[in-house]
Amino acid sequence: MDLNKSDETSKFSPLGKMLSWFTKTKNANNIFLGLALLCFLLFLADFTYHKHGHFHIEEIPGFYGAYGFFMFTALILVAKALRLLIKRPENYYGDKAIDGEDYPADQLEQGSK
């Protein structure tokens, strides 16, 4: 496997160059701000139409946004706590599991750009 960590973008296809834009540290703030703006606009959009949900709670503006944000955060925190309980070394189940073994190389078609 080629481990040359080169960001020599000329080697990447046009599509690869486009996508690698998202991975650049300098763009991280823009992505964050763009997403925050989008969220704000979606929140505002709630005032533009008559909401008709099955439950009253759905009619609160931004209900889905708030629910999504807080439940997602809660999910991550609970999962993080869960990890403390159930995490084990990769070879925990020994040779009776695939976790500690390599995928057979003869079934791979490795190659680097």
Partner 1 sequence: MISILPTAFIFIAAALVLGLLPRGHVRGVILLITPILAAWQIWNLPVGIFVQVEFVGQTLDMMRVDKLSRIFGLIFCLAAFLGNLYAWHVRDFIQQIAALLYAGAAIGAVFAGDLITLFFYWEGTALASVFLIWARRTEGSYHTGMRYLIIQITSGVILLAGTALLYRETGSITFELMTLGSLGTWLIFLSFGMKCAFPLLHNWLQDSYPAATITGTVILSAFTTKLAVYALARGFAGTELLIYIGAAMTLFPIFFAEIENDLRRVLAYSLNNQLGFMVVGIGVGTEMAINGTASHAFAHILYKALLFMSVGAVMLRTGTSKASELGGLCRTMPRTAIFCLIGAASISAFPLFSGFVTKSLIMDETANQHYPIIWAILVFASAGVLSHSGIKIPYFTFFGHDSGLRPKEAPIHMQIAMGFTAFLCIFIGVYPEPLYALLPYEVIYRPYTMSHVVGQLQLLCFALLAFVVLMRTGIHPPEIRAVNLDVDWIYRRLIPTLYNIIYAGVAKVLQLLETLVNTMTQLLVKELYKLHGPETGVSRMRGVGAMVIWVAILLGIALTLSYF
| Positions in 38-77 near partner 1 (CB under 8 A) | 38-39, 42-43, 45-46, 49-55, 58, 62-73, 75-77
Nearer to partner 1, 26 or 87 (CB): 87
Question: What CA–CA distance (Å, rounded) separates 43 from 63?
Answer: 9
The yes or no reply on residue 20 touching partner 1 (CB under 8 A) is yes
Q: How many residues bind partner 1 (CB under 8 A)?
A: 83
Q: Least CB distance from residue 8 to partner 1, whole Å? A: 10
Q: Least CB distance from residue 30 to partner 1, whole Å? A: 12
Q: Least CB distance from residue 66 to partner 1, whole Å? A: 7
11 contacts 113 by C-beta, under 8 angstroms = yes
Binding mask 87-106 for partner 1 (x = CB under 8 A): xxxx-xx-xxxxxxxxxxx-
Q: Least CB distance from residue 29 to partner 1, whole Å? A: 9
Classify residue 39 as exposed, middle or buried by CB count within 10 Å of its CB (0-12, 13-18, 19+).
Answer: middle
Any long-range contacts for 29-37 (C-beta under 8 Å, 24+ apart)? none
Which residue, 33, 39, 37, 47, is CA-closest to 65?
39
